[in-house]
Chains A and B, each alone.
Chain A
Amino acid sequence: MRNTDPRISKRLPEDPKGTFQEDVFVLEEYIQDLWRFFPLPICYVNPVHRILEVNEAFLEFTGYTNNEIIGTYAFQLWKGAKEGSALEEELLKRDHFEREIILTTKEASRIPIRLYAQLRRDSAGEVIGYFLALVDITREKEFSGQLEEKVQERTKQLEDMRSALLNMLEDTEEARKRAEGDRNRTRAIITNFPDGLLVLDASQHAELVNQAAERMFDVKARDILGKSLDQLKLFSTILPLVELYEASEGGVSHKELEMAGGKVVVVSALPLQFGEEFRGAILALHDITREKEVERIKTEFVSLAAHQLRTPLSAIKWTISMLLDEGGGKNLTEQQRDYLRKTYRSNERMILLINDLLDVTRLEEGKYLYKPEFGQIDALLKNVVESHQGEAKRREAKLKLELPSKGPIRILMDAEKIRLVFQNLLENALSYTFKGGTITVSLYLRGGDEEVEVVVQDTGMGIPQGQQRRVFEKFFRATNAKKVDTEGSGLGLYLAKNIVEAHGGTIWFESQEGQGATFHVVLPVKKEIEEFLKTF
């Protein structure tokens, strides 16, 4: 920059010793050093926008060499001529100018910069040039871009949250309405429920009583609501219930209670427990007066029917039995004895049918499982199979029993009824198996010894496909079975299924017509006896 500006030397005063000029050189060097050192790209431009001087940082930033850039038109660096000229004019109007623009480097990279311009004027105020400083704002731009993105993202999140919150508020309102609806519905159900319901709150006071309970207790709800257990005891009709509830310490289930006026109810208490917290109890009263009466009438009816039906049959049985007895029938001819034997057998079949019918009636009464005890299922099967060996021999069929090596196998059962199941299955197998056929009875332990499975397999006529689903129905007999054996009652499998199911077991079969049938019976080994006893 030395001596580049003639105006400087022109204005210098007389300096005969040269000290002043020396000072000026020192100052120039100082300015040059500063110019070089300055890390910000700067240049000096004349009033017609030609670059006169640039610093190192400027060259580095723009990619041009000193020779390439000096004397060139400054605005070519950043804009097209048109905008450039607008900028020129604008720039020269003010002493200080600042603008964001895009700089194009020699390598044609486009860099966003902030352009600072500072005019220089002579003593008369005329513009003699200007400084330009370029500040790279790429980072700033990126950052503000990111910031904008972040702001938008955040705004969206906030909006989402807001609408979610609104939705939640709507849902809450809906839930509240629904809960209110539910509550009204529950109240309506409780009020109109045919069973008597008395609800106790957490402090054991009457909280709710429905119409049926009002009738059963012969009280008005308003007289007992809010009353404690001790106060409730003052009502003679409620006393027995409260006593029962208190004695049960929070859990009566299905206890019969005789109420005033000969009504019989079953009382159930259900503690309302939320986790550890006791929230009260529901006492339910189910009127079984009518059921009791029906049960009594049915027992009487079955008893009477059994008597009326069996009495003439037993008279016939005993008469023929006496006639055929040695001594009683010694004067009979062989043909007469034969007739009597056949009559006896017919009579026996009639008795069996009646017995089956009575068994069915009792079964339907729910009293069939009379004596559930632990007994040996393997021994029972052995006994049943043995008692049918004679019949098998007569029919020229093979009857085999396969037992597991592990024994004895004890299960909880009503032995008399389970015997009936396998008698029925065996009788069927024998009746419908052809000469030379084989019947195999097998016992298996299943499900980790929790169950037993008995399989009765025959090589008989099988069950027609179309009739298989009716096999366990009452009085049902398959068409092919009816042709061979006209006398079956059609009750055996119905009974068997009911008995097996009353034991908590299952029964099913596989069969193809003409290729035999395989019946499976699965029985639980040791359910909780208490649970078992509840079922009858």
Chain B
Amino acid sequence: MKRVLLIEDEELISALLAKKLSEGGYDVTVAGDGEEGIVKAKMQNPDIVLLDMMLPRMNGLEVLQEMRDDADLRDTPVIIISNSGQPVEIEAVRKLGAKDWLVKTNFDPGEVLEKVRSYIG
């Protein structure tokens, strides 16, 4: 079973998305802030990371930077799920290798599941 790490501080969002992804056949782990996200990523070496940008303790950009500095996590695909999304921000995460930027209000959980499937099958 493919492992998905979901780093998201909004509990309702992460609960809904985790449920959807589990139903879709993935092994989902949830982290509620950036630091916890990095720890769990290092422990589990997930197949894909869904990363929020505005997070307590360590923001999405910092998490992404740290993952890129870690040899084991460097090539793990990352999809940003954030409600921000200004061009400057998108450009910054693209430079760090993020695959996609999804604005949560513009996607349903089902569509997020489709995205995940398109990257890791």
Contact = CB atoms under 8 A, between A and B. Distances in A.
Contacts of A319: 12, 16
A299 interface: yes
A325 B105 CA distance: 17
A488 B14 CA distance: 32
Contact of B20 (A304, A310, A315, A322): A322
Contact of A307 (B54, B87, B108, B110): B54
B54 A303 contact: yes
A302 B19 contact: no
Contacts of A307: 53-54, 82-84
A351 B106 CA distance: 8
Contacts of B106: 351, 355
A314 B86 contact: no
A309 B85 CA distance: 13
B78 interface: no
A317 B105 contact: yes
A355 B105 contact: yes
A306 B13 CA distance: 16
B23 interface: yes
Interface in B16-69: 16-17, 19-20, 23, 53-54
Size category of the B interface is: 20 to 34
A313 B103 CA distance: 12
A143 interface: no
Nearest to B12: A315
Interface in A211-250: none
Interface string B86-120: 11110000000000000111101110000000000
| Interface of chain A, main secondary structure | helix
B13 A311 contact: yes
Contacts of B10: 311, 315
Contacts of A315: 10, 12-13, 16
B120 to A, nearest CB: 21
Contacts of A309: 83
B103 A367 contact: no
Contacts of B13: 311, 314-315, 318
B108 A317 contact: yes
A321 interface: yes
Contact of B109 (A310, A313, A318): A318
A490 to B, nearest CB: 20
A318 B108 contact: yes
Contact of A299 (B82, B88, B108): B88
Given A299-B88, A306-B84, A313 B54 contact: no
B87 to A, nearest CB: 4
Contacts of A311: 10, 13, 83, 104
B86 A299 contact: yes
A362 interface: yes
Nearest to A317: B105
B11 to A, nearest CB: 9
Given A310-B105, A311-B10, A325-B110, A318 B16 contact: yes
A315 B17 CA distance: 10
Given A299-B88, A307-B54, A322 B105 contact: no
B12 to A, nearest CB: 5
Contacts of B16: 315, 318-319, 322
A291 to B, nearest CB: 15
B101 to A, nearest CB: 12
A307 B59 CA distance: 13
Nearest to B89: A303
Interface string A291-302: 000000001001
Given A310-B103, A318-B109, A367 B86 contact: yes
Given A315-B10, A318-B108, A310 B83 contact: yes
B59 to A, nearest CB: 10
- In this complex, which of B10, B53, B82, B108 has the most chain A Cβ atoms within 10 angstroms of its Cβ? B108
Contacts of B19: 322
15 contacts: A299-B86, A299-B89, A303-B89, A304-B54, A307-B53, A310-B104, A314-B13, A314-B104, A315-B16, A318-B13, A318-B16, A318-B104, A322-B20, A355-B105, A362-B86
Given A303-B86, A310-B105, A362-B86, 17 more contacts: A299-B88, A302-B84, A304-B54, A307-B53, A309-B83, A314-B13, A315-B13, A318-B12, A318-B17, A318-B108, A319-B12, A321-B108, A322-B19, A351-B105, A355-B106, A362-B87, A367-B87
